Amino acid sequence: MAKQRAKLVVGNWKMHGRLGSNRALLEAVAIGAGSLPEQVGVAVCVPCPYLAQAQALLAGSRVKWGSQDVSAHQGGAYTGEVAAEMVLDFGATYAIVGHSERREYHGESAEFVAVKAQRALLAGLTPIVCVGETLAQREAGETEQVVGAQLDAVLKKLADDAAKIVVAYEPVWAIGTGKSATSTEAQQVHAFLRSRLAAQGATVADVPLLYGGSVKPGNAGELFRQPDIDGGLIGGASLVDEDFLAICAAAGEVARGTVGAADATP
């Protein structure tokens, strides 16, 4: 039987949550993740004010936690910014960088995202680097050009450390719209990203490639069965414990090889 890469499912809570309601969600995810096969990693990227709560409720569980952004600066007079080292202070593992909402609403360029990825790595966090095209770019046939340039900026900046990142392909038109990319569309872009990573060497080729954009319990298995999709970055569905855990369970089934082994990674 062909070997499956390990799977990783990461929740992106965005600007959702309150101290009171977070508790039930975090506790449910921590308990539910306990029964997943060991080949499945689970994490939640929470708003920074809730990192301490995530640490308190998730420490000792299978679930890791992280932030949704980090500052490009190490520290200093940058009002409102949160340094990667501060995120690490709360035991975090991951930091999302370059989410399309940051690129669009905060004007973050590919080079600026690359600096943030480097900051996260230097602090000891694993950056989850998001790349993705808009609908107009897809319709103009520019998907590979766009995501390739976004990825290249990070690979160039990180050089020998490029193998230490996670990449998430998130087509902008699929985020929060209920309209996921089909598994074929997603796999095509993932295969392209994989080849771009592989051009940097064998260890970089194995960087986990997550898909994000309207992943739900109903489509997760089909997406995760694709040979170059190593898991998911989950927005809306990560706010509902049953849905998030069902997506994690789908990753578990694929990782265990109980479904879809035929198209697994050799």
Asked if 69 contacts 95 with a C-beta cutoff of 8 angstroms, the reply is yes
99 flagged as catalytic: yes
Stretch that binds ligand PEP, among 157-165, 187-195, 217-225, 233-241 (CB under 6 A): 233-241
Segment near ligand PEP (CB under 6 A), from 17-25, 157-165, 181-189, 235-243?
Answer: 235-243
Would you call 159 exposed, middle or buried from its count of C-beta atoms within 10 A (0-12, 13-18, 19+)?
exposed
* Torsion angles phi and psi, residue 126, rounded to 5: -95, 115
Q: How far is the CB of 217 from ligand PEP (least distance, A)?
A: 12
* Using rule CB under 6 A, residue 51 touches ligand PEP: no
* Interior angle at CA 255, CA 254 and CA 261, nearest 5: 55
Of residues 188 through 227, those in contact with ligand PEP by CB under 6 A are 212-215
Closest separation between CB of residue 87 and ligand PEP, Å?
18
> Strands 40-45 and 94-97: what pairing?
unpaired
- Residues 111-150, mask of contacts with ligand PEP (x by CB under 6 A): ----------------------------------------
Residue of the chain from 4, 5, 9, 12 that contacts ligand PEP (CB under 6 A) = 12
Question: Which residues neighbour 18 within 8 Å (Cβ) at sequence distance 6 or greater?
Answer: none
| Nearer to ligand PEP (CB atom), residue 104 or residue 139 | 104
Q: Which is nearer to ligand PEP, 41 or 236 (CB)?
A: 236
Under rule CB under 6 A, residue 175 binds ligand PEP: yes
Backbone φ and ψ of 211, nearest 5°: -105, 140
22 binds ligand PEP (CB under 6 A): no
Q: Which of 108, 170, 222, 253 is catalytic?
A: 170
Q: CB–CB of 205/199 below 8 Å?
A: no
The residue whose Cβ lies closest to ligand PEP is 235
**Residue from 41, 171, 221, 235 binding ligand PEP (CB under 6 A):** 235
Active-site residue, 170 included: yes
**Binding piece for ligand PEP, criterion CB under 6 A, among 35-43, 70-78, 202-210, 234-242:** 234-242
- Positions touching ligand PEP (CB under 6 A) are 12, 170, 175-176, 212-215, 233-237
Q: Catalytic amino acids?
A: 99, 170
